[in-house]
Amino acid sequence: MKVSIFDVAKKSGLSVVTVSRVLNNASSVRQKNREKVLQAMKELNYQPNASARSLARGKTGIIGLTLSTLHDSFFDAVVKEINDRLAGHGYFLALSITGNDKEAFHRSLFQEDRVDGVILLSPTDEDEYIMELKRKKIPFIMIDNSKQNASVSSIIVDNFKGGYEATKHLIELGHTRIAHIAGPDPFLSSRERERGFLVAMEEAGLKPYRIERGTFEISSGYDIAMRWIDSGELPSALFASDDYIALGVIDACLNRGIRIPEAMSIVGFDDQKFASEFRPMLTTVRQPADKIGAAGVDLLLEAMSDSSRRKVTIQIEPELIIRESTARII
Amino acid sequence: MKVSIFDVAKKSGLSVVTVSRVLNNASSVRQKNREKVLQAMKELNYQPNASARSLARGKTGIIGLTLSTLHDSFFDAVVKEINDRLAGHGYFLALSITGNDKEAFHRSLFQEDRVDGVILLSPTDEDEYIMELKRKKIPFIMIDNSKQNASVSSIIVDNFKGGYEATKHLIELGHTRIAHIAGPDPFLSSRERERGFLVAMEEAGLKPYRIERGTFEISSGYDIAMRWIDSGELPSALFASDDYIALGVIDACLNRGIRIPEAMSIVGFDDQKFASEFRPMLTTVRQPADKIGAAGVDLLLEAMSDSSRRKVTIQIEPELIIRESTARII
DNA sequence: CAATAAAGTTAAAGCGTTTTAACTTTTGAG
DNA sequence: CTCAAAAGTTAAAACGCTTTAACTTTATTG
């Protein structure tokens, strides 16, 4: 029932070696014969067996990518870019949701030589993964990792610069009572954005109006903003550590009739999908998903071709996108 | 350099057959010897080679799942459920983003006997996929498919009932000027929700205040609502075909100072993550992701064990979640 | 303690490719 | 028409595991 390379050889009147050659575009096969082979394959509905190929060649052609959640338009964009780019190099991408669960990772698809390389997208428990992958000698890189680690190649966004530019934008609009809602402390990205805020304020000779620490969720921004509103301590401008927080703040303002940007300017971070759909459209710092994905693939390919290569950390520059949620102070 | 089953056999002082047996939990191996083998594996840092196992056994242990976008909390939940459930049966889940792109699917990870089965999550170009998979004789099922197809096993939500219940809820709150914003026509789910709306209205002896057709996006709801507001033709209640549309409508209302639910009641569909985070928290129809995922896995496993099994379509009942966006008319 | 069941062993084939080596046939220039 | 280069061929090994068959050794038990 199974049709193999032998059946194709017989049908096309050529040898298995020749068939194998056209399968791999290896050495030269006369055009006429190549077509014969292709024709036979089509007629027999032949499908090369991936397991056999992988076994014989010692590589699977599959790259694994872990992520913790699907629910983020930034990840979405990064993954799509990686997928396309990898396809261009003849690799397939297999996603695995092994997020926060170390156990799941140990049991994951990425064991047993199933993949030629791994990309860890925004891993939350890096050390575990790193040890595991190093032990298994699987080439890997990290994207958007939360800690600095010189022993691993990784791609990170220049969060400091993003925070700095966002804040500077507010300052240039004439604001002086500028607040910041930071993300969770364990995240490097969160701390770097905060540092960018602080430095920009300092340079302008301004004191932070206030700094709060939240989580990357709508409700976090909402609750904090409500507190501010109820105590009459609203800043004139806010830099939120991510778009969800910013959306929560806008939500609170909208519900209390506080106009944005007239009464308060807000800038977020990430440029999530809703940032350009929900009104007022959000001024935010975009993380260029395409560049990040592309750089990640390049880095992984390098690591795969030469595992002794020096580890590097590549910083990608984010970009301030000015929309409706910020305005010159009146 | 590679350590194989032979090395483990030698190190543990047992035969390869025994080692293979402990690897597969097959026939009986004395506890003491089992431990010896496990110990040897650990010491040698042995990893069975998946390609070799797959080749020898004729199955890969991998289930493929296609999706078009990652950016949806409903998909997120369904995929997580499927992932966990499949793991319980010893299978791995590999996600592939081959969304709307037929070509991508043809070139995808799911060719070449790489997977034992496939789940198509909310496929948009079903016919293509179906033909391809049938030709390759790969067992598969569809979840949330947009067309009815008796020749394929699938899981769908009872969208009619969802639309009916949502509308009935509004009617019971005393509303009579009830509008509906439908989703794109090609989607069965969209048409069924609309039918539910129509039937509920009819049964109550009410005429639809108005029916608009949009896309499943925030901006779609926003634009339509703005039109209504500007022409002074706001309904007193709205059933939106999905949460994004509902969010867009709320956004428009919030921006124009129209209070929800006081001035207008809104019910959405899906119970996206933001539905319970963004204020006012949205009354919506939840699609039970866990049940859907579980049913999908069961169905696929059946299809894999007996490909001649009769194809079935399983309908899952959705659930109305009442939150803050709906209220009795004043 | 003999008889039987359980646990292991060795040997070999098979899974579907790739790859290499040693040759043979075809093709196209001169 | 000759001859070297190009294109094929056959044969066999290798990839790392599973599975089967025919035995042998070790436990269990009445």
Q: What does the pLDDT look like over B122-177, one tens digit per residue? A: 887 778 888 888 888 899 999 998 888 889 999 999 999 999 999 999 999 999 99
Nearest C-alpha neighbor of A129 from the set A144, A115, A114, A110: A110
Query: What's the token pair of residue A282?
Result: 């959000």
Q: What are phi and psi of B208, to 5 degrees?
A: -55, 130
Q: Do B215 and B234 belong together in one domain?
A: yes
User: Is the domain of A210 the same as that of A275?
Assistant: yes
Residue B38 CA distance to nucleotide C5 C1' (Å): 26
Judge whether residue B48 contacts strand D, using its CB and a 7 Å cut-off.
yes
Residue B323 lies in a domain: no
Average pLDDT over residues B64-89: 91
Q: Residue A223: inside a domain, yes or no?
A: yes
Residues of A in contact with B112 (CB under 8 A): 47-50, 53
Distance (Å, rounded) from C-alpha A60 to C-alpha B51?
A: 8
A43 shares a domain with A103 = no
- Positions 16-45 of B with beta carbon below 7 A from strand C are 16-18, 21, 27-30, 32-34
Q: CB-based contacts of B35: which residues, under 8 Å, 6+ apart?
A: none
Q: B19 and B99 share a domain?
A: no
Strand order in the sheet with A140-143: A313-316, A154-157, A140-143, A117-121, A62-67, A92-97, B92-97, B62-67, B117-121, B140-143, B154-157, B313-316
Is the preceding omega at residue B235 within 30 degrees of 0, hence cis? no
**Neighbouring residues of A84: CB distance < 8 A, sequence distance ≥ 6:** none
Residue at A325 is within a domain: no
Pairing verdict, β A237-240 and B140-143: unpaired
Does a structural domain hold residue B325? no
What contacts A217, CB < 8 A, 6 or more positions away? A244, A245, A248, B277
Residues of chain A with pLDDT under 70: 99-100
Residue A55 lies in a domain: no
Which residues of chain A lie closer than 8 angstroms to B248, CB-CB?
277-278
Co-location of B97 and B242 in the same domain: no
pLDDT of amino acid A100: 64
The predicted-structure confidence for B199-243, as pLDDT tens digits, reads as follows: 999 999 999 999 999 999 999 999 999 999 999 999 999 999 999
Residues A73 and A11 in one domain: no
Q: Say yes or no: A283 and A168 in one domain.
A: yes
Nearest residue in B to A62, CA atom: B109
Q: A303 and A238 in one domain?
A: no
Say if residue A117 is exposed, middle or buried (CB neighbours under 10 Å; 0-12, 13-18, 19+): buried
**Is residue A17 within 8 angstroms of chain B, CB to CB?**
no
B309 pLDDT band, cuts 50/70/90, is confident
Decide if A103 touches B, using CB distance below 8 A: no
Mean pLDDT, all residues of chain B? 93
User: How many folded domains does chain B comprise?
Assistant: 3
Query: Tell me, what CATH number does B226's domain have?
Result: 3.40.50.2300
Q: Which amino acid is at B252?
A: A
Residue B99's pLDDT is 66
- The separation between the first and the last C-alpha atoms of chain A, rounded to the nearest angstrom, is 78
User: The tokens 């610069």 sit on which residue?
Assistant: A161
Please state whether strand D lies within 7 Å of residue A142 at its CB atom: no
Domain encompassing residue B303: 62-157+289-315
What CATH number corresponds to the domain at position A23? Answer: 1.10.260.40
Buried/exposed B229-263: b ≥16 CB within 10 Å, e otherwise? beeeebbbbbbbbbbbbbbbbbbbbbbeebebbee
User: Which letter, b or e, does each residue of A266-281 get, where b requires 16 or more Cβ atoms within 10 Å of its Cβ?
Assistant: bbbbbbbbbbbbbbbb
Residues B282 and B179 occupy one common structural domain:
yes
Strand C, CB < 7 A, residues 4-33 of A: 4-6, 16-17, 19-20, 23-24, 26
Token pair 């033709």 in the structure block, residue: B233
- Residue B76: closest CA among B270, B318, B284, B267: B270
Same-domain check for residues A131 and A206 = no
Share of chain B above pLDDT 70, in %: 99
Residue A79: predicted pLDDT: 94
Report the alpha-carbon distance of residue B140 to residue B144 in Å, rounded.
13
